[in-house]
Amino acid sequence: MSIVELVRLALSRIASSRLRAALTMLGVIIGVASVVALVAVGQGATSGITARLQGLGTNLLTVNPGSSTQGFTRGAAGTATSLTADDANAIAALNGVAAVEPEISSQQLVAAGSLNSTTSIVGTTADYATVRAFTIWQGSFLTPATVDAGVSVAVLGATTADDLGLGANAIGAQVTIGGLPFQVVGILQAKGSSGPFSQDDQVLIPMATARHYFVQGDTIRSIGVSVATPDQMDLVKAEIQTTLEQRHGIAAGGTDDFTITDQAQLLSTVSAVTTTLTILLAGIASISLVVGGIGIMNIMLVSVRERTHEIGIRKAIGARGRDVLAQFLIEALTLSLLGGMVGIVLGVAVSALIGAVAGWGFVFNPITPLVAVLFSLLVGVVFGVWPARQAARLDPIVALRYE
């Protein structure tokens, strides 16, 4: 018997008992749908986090001051005042470093007309846009000339500009920062991140200007380093460490008064965590798939018992054991495959809905449905073989007598 004949036989059988078939498939439908949806949610979350982290800058190393020590008390990371502009210049001179931006910051009230906002004022250099992966939306970014001259110009983050009611025609407009007049020279393209530490809610001004008006001393809050190529990350990181240890007079193996954060490292840690979570979720969802498979097996066993007489007739008119086996196996497979396909549609719909609500959009990976279909076929085989063997082994004489 050809597979087409067997599938036709199975479909006519399923069509003749639709409610039972639908209820049997429900287990597989729920199983496959939850696997597809949960994997998509996992992948969506991963891609959302990855996109956000990559938005921080490519090949980015961040150097932050370490913790300060007063007496025997060690303070929190970043409390030390150990980094200077000269450190930044020394790092900029290293091999493999594409750009460096030192930054200092202060919270100030920014006002434009009757609107105002308290936000982070960052004093930095012209390389900030390169290192932190910002593009300009309107006007221009800080230039080396404006930075060196220490003039009162400002580049606004997208959210800040919005809060101040400044749009595309605001280039050249006056704003006050901490009561001092500044000219807006540019507005940044939004990165889309939100929350209290949004990169879109800040004002960038020349380093010297910030130092002059808002931040005392000569320490630096952090240094962003853009490495030329991804494979140089570890090398440059080691170079920076050696250079800063020398400059700060720290013996090799001693406690550093700075920390270097690796963007790629963070990224791989995050994706490792989300991958583990995705596998965990899919594993839990697979349990329902197994339960669905057991449901199919149960129904097929009942079906073999109910159709014993039919099996007897089929054997008498020439069906071999393997014909009967194939008939019941294909019936179980058809049930699980149909359930699997409905489950995929349902799972994709649910993941699209969750994606829309959570904001990472519709993540569709064609591998997932493929795996789900194969898995549901596997379920059909595993849980269909036993009932089918029971059917195939029936003695035709006994089966014919069975009513």
Partner 1 sequence: MTEPLVHLQHVSRVYEMGRLQVVALRDVDVAIQSGEFVAVLGPSGSGKSTLMHIVGCLDRPTSGQYTLAGTPVAALDDDRLAALRSRAIGFVFQSYNLLARTNALENVAAPLLYQGVSRRERYRRARAALERLGLGDRVDHSPAELSGGQQQRVAIARALVTDPALILADEPTGNLASDQGAEVLSLFRELHSAGRTIVLITHDQEVAAAAGRQIHIRDGSIAAGEIAA
CB of 275 to partner 1, least distance (A): 49
Does position 19 bind partner 1 by CB under 8 A?
A: no
CB of 299 to partner 1, least distance (A): 17
CB of 274 to partner 1, least distance (A): 51
Nearer to partner 1, 49 or 400 (CB): 400
Tokens of 370: 């493929």
Residues 292-321: x where in contact with partner 1 by CB under 8 A, - otherwise, as a string? -----------------xx-xxxxxxxxxx
CB of 310 to partner 1, least distance (A): 6
| Chain residues 110-139 in contact with partner 1, contact rule CB under 8 A | none
Residue whose entry in the numeric block shows the structure tokens 């990976």: 365
CA dist., res. 381 & res. 330, Å (int): 9
Does position 391 bind partner 1 by CB under 8 A?
A: no
Nearer to partner 1, 196 or 318 (CB): 318
CB of 380 to partner 1, least distance (A): 22
CB of 337 to partner 1, least distance (A): 22
Selected range binding partner 1 among 211-219, 258-266, 336-344, 394-402, rule: CB under 8 A: 394-402
Nearer to partner 1, 48 or 396 (CB): 396
Residues 319-358: x where in contact with partner 1 by CB under 8 A, - otherwise, as a string? xxxxx-----------------------------------
CB of 338 to partner 1, least distance (A): 20
CB of 317 to partner 1, least distance (A): 4
Nearer to partner 1, 104 or 394 (CB): 394
By rule CB under 8 A, what count of residues binds partner 1? 21
* Reduced 3-state DSSP string for the chain: CCHHHHHHHHHHHHHHCHHHHHHHHHHHHHHHHHHHHHHHHHHHHHHHHHHHHHCCCCCEEEEEECEEEECCEEEEECCCCCCEHHHHHHHHCCCCEEEEEEEEEEEEEEEECCEEEEEEEEEECCCHHHHCCCCEEEECCCCHHHHHHCCCEEEECHHHHHHCCCCHHHCCCEEEECCEEEEEEEEECCCCCCCCCCCCCEEEEEHHHHHHHCCCCCECCEEEEEECCHHHHHHHHHHHHHHHHHHHCCCCCCCCCEEEEEHHHHHHHHHHHHHHHHHHHHHHHHHHHHHHHHHHHHHHHHHHHHCHHHHHHHHHCCCCHHHHHHHHHHHHHHHHHHHHHHHHHHHHHHHHHHHHHHCCCCCCCCHHHHHHHHHHHHHHHHHHHHHHHHHHHCCHHHHHHCC
Nearer to partner 1, 100 or 388 (CB): 388
Does position 396 bind partner 1 by CB under 8 A?
A: yes
Nearer to partner 1, 178 or 321 (CB): 321
Nearer to partner 1, 9 or 111 (CB): 9
Q: Which residues bind partner 1 (CB under 8 A)?
A: 1-2, 5, 16, 309-310, 312-323, 396-397, 400
